[in-house]
Amino acid sequence: MTNKWNLREIVLMAILGVVFAVIYLFFFTVGTGLTNVLTPFGLGPFGYEVIFGIWFIVSIITAYIIRKPGAALISETIAGGVQVLMGSPAGPMLIVSALIQGLGAETAFAATKYRNFSTGVLVAAGIGAAVFSFIWGLYHSGYLALSLPLLSSMLIVRVISGALIAGLLGKWITERLADTGVLRSYALGKEWQSKREHKAS
Amino acid sequence: MLTSINPTMKAFAVLIPALLLAVTYDPLTPSIYLVFTILVTFLFSKVAFKRWLVIFSPFLLLAVSFAWMTMLHPSEAFSGGDVLFSIWSFQVTSESFWAGISLGLRSLSFAALSLLFILTTDSTKFMLSLMQQCKLPPKLTFGILAGYRFLPTFRYELQVLRQAHRIRGVGRARGMKERLHQFRRYAIPLLANAIRKAERVALAMESKGFTGEPNRTHYHEMTIHKRDWVFVSVFFVMFFVSVFLSYQLGFLNIFGKQF
């Protein structure tokens, strides 16, 4: 899969994976804090659900910049792997969870044959990651033992979080980056520049 | 001992039982595995108990929180049995109680397995072993290792950025709106710098003759020995031992089905 990529894109993907691994680890503590507040009501794990979208964001950012098959999947998996390197207490299982989330985002991009990167598709990628990670949670975290109303509200919260935080915030961050001009040699930067030239003329 | 096991094999040794444990919904199977993992951790490595406990304790809280949620909101398959106690408008039955305990213990045994890996594995060796044993492309491996090496640099850059803002009279953010603005002021330059670095690293790698050929020679050879296979098999077999034990004692429950 990585044969068609040039080294610059691969290293970019790796470094974005590293940067977002730091952010992911930080949000793990944020989630734990929220969980503490919600625990007495028996809704503790919702602390993670509301911010779950942050854990998909690197998929959306990288796919939006590089626009090649596999960008969403591989970058998310790298971010998971780097968290393991940094000593995340979630351990090697994090790589598997990240792979599944990345697969969810990748599905949305693959459905458009990697041609369409509009807001709608980016949001769909965030939702795809949320749905895939939820199905994984049904098996792995034992959500199967939870009641249906609770499960559906968890899913809804996670999907909204994926759409807003991963989809919209991811798009916003990437476009601010494109504005700085550092992405000039990648697919998004090229499109951005031609748009700007178009506007100027 | 544990530090000398091949990192990839060790990762599989902790992954496989964690994947399998997810099918059990009784309290005994995960507890047997939890005890086994903790024993292996302290018998075969020099991990300090205090350090282990510091990392493990947040998981205790998460486990309790998740168990509590399961007890209050069980699915139909787990809501049978006598009512043990009721709180607010919730009734906790014996089945939901034990399902909650089981899920809590499950997440604890996942955590213990992860710690066994994290506390005894060198991260560079893990990456090198992934490249040599799992055929991870060298381009990716060295890209990740280069990025990993930049972590301290990122921290330094954040510091410089903060000082640069302060010296120009940008104060600390107050309120939600200013915080958001501050987030943008820090996040975008940091990310832009990271992207520039990625470009430079890629150029440096190419100019020094790095082609990313998969059949290359390695300075640090990572190898798999017989004892690595033994290690993985012990962790694999131990899962079936704990399932068998809880079956013998009449506890075993797979996906809500009592055996």
pLDDT over 60 at B139, yes or no: yes
Chain A closest-CA separation from residue B145 CA (Å): 8
Average pLDDT for chain B: 86
Tokens of B232: 């993985």
Q: Which of B54, B199, B255 to mutate to test the interface with A (most CBs of A within 10 A)?
A: B199
pLDDT over 60 at A1, yes or no: no
What's the whole-number mean pLDDT along residues B169-197?
Answer: 83
pLDDT over 90 at A40, yes or no: no
Alpha carbon distance B96, B68 (integer Å): 10
pLDDT for B221: 87
Q: Which of A19, A61, A64 to mutate to test the interface with B (most CBs of B within 10 A)?
A: A19
The DSSP H or E segment spanning B86 is strand B83-87
Across the interface, do A145 and B184 touch by the CB < 8 Å criterion?
A: no
What's the whole-number mean pLDDT along residues A153-162?
Answer: 92
The parent domain of residue A39 ranges over 2-200
What's the whole-number mean pLDDT along residues B8-31?
Answer: 90
What's the whole-number mean pLDDT along residues B35-47?
Answer: 90
**Structural domain tally of chain A?**
1
Residue among B146, B29, B82 at smallest CA distance from A82: B146
Chain A closest-CA separation from residue B204 CA (Å): 10
Amino acid of residue A107:
T
* B198/A contact by beta carbon, under 8 A: yes
A contacts of B192 (beta carbons < 8 Å): 177, 180, 182
pLDDT over 90 at B45, yes or no: no
User: Between vectors from CA B169 to CA B164 and to CA B175, what angle results, nearest 5°?
Assistant: 105
Alpha carbon distance A91, B108 (integer Å): 12
If pLDDT is split at 50, 70 and 90, which confidence band does A87 have? confident
Whether A26 and B163 have beta carbons less than 8 Å apart is answered as no
pLDDT over 80 at B78, yes or no: no
pLDDT for B68: 85
Whether A167 and A122 have beta carbons less than 8 Å apart is answered as yes
User: Between vectors from CA A86 to CA A48 and to CA A159, what angle results, nearest 5°?
Assistant: 25
pLDDT for A193: 85
Residues above pLDDT 90, as percent of chain A: 45
Collapsing DSSP states into helix, strand and coil, what is residue A103? helix
B contacts of A148 (beta carbons < 8 Å): 75-76
Question: In sequence order, what are the beta bridge partners of B93?
Answer: B83
Residue with tokens 């300090």: B48
Across A112-116, A171-175, B226-230, B250-254, least confident range: B250-254
Tokens of B222: 């990572």
Candidates A7, A82, A92; nearest CB to B205: A7
What's the whole-number mean pLDDT along residues A70-92?
Answer: 90
Residue among B104, B60, B98, B64 at smallest CA distance from B80: B98
pLDDT over 90 at A172, yes or no: yes
pLDDT for B217: 86
Candidates A14, A39, A92; nearest CB to B143: A14
Whether A118 and A171 have beta carbons less than 8 Å apart is answered as no
Helix A71-85, helix A93-111: angle, nearest 10? 160
Across the interface, do A8 and B106 touch by the CB < 8 Å criterion?
A: no
Alpha carbon distance B103, B30 (integer Å): 9
Q: Where are the domains of chain B?
A: 2-123+221-258, 138-207
Across the interface, do A35 and B199 touch by the CB < 8 Å criterion?
A: no
B contacts of A82 (beta carbons < 8 Å): 144, 147-148
Handedness of CA B230, B231, B234, B237 (dihedral sign): negative
The DSSP H or E segment spanning B75 is none
Across the interface, do A173 and B62 touch by the CB < 8 Å criterion?
A: no
CA atoms within 13 A on the CB side of A167: 26
* A86/B contact by beta carbon, under 8 A: yes
CA atoms within 13 A on the CB side of A142: 38
Candidates B61, B73, B139; nearest CB to A147: B73
If pLDDT is split at 50, 70 and 90, which confidence band does A132 have? very high
pTM above 0.90, yes or no: no
What's the whole-number mean pLDDT along residues A72-87?
Answer: 91
How big is the A-B interface in CB pairs under 8 Å? 207
Across the interface, do B106 and A142 touch by the CB < 8 Å criterion?
A: yes
pLDDT for B178: 80
How far does Cα B48 stand from its chain's mean position?
19
Collapsing DSSP states into helix, strand and coil, what is residue A60? helix
Candidates A15, A93, A176; nearest CB to B150: A15
Task: Provide the chain B residues 100-119 that lie in CB contact (below 8 A) with chain A.
Answer: 100, 102-103, 106-107, 110-111, 113-115, 117-118
Residue with tokens 């691994």: A21
Whether B222 and B125 have beta carbons less than 8 Å apart is answered as yes
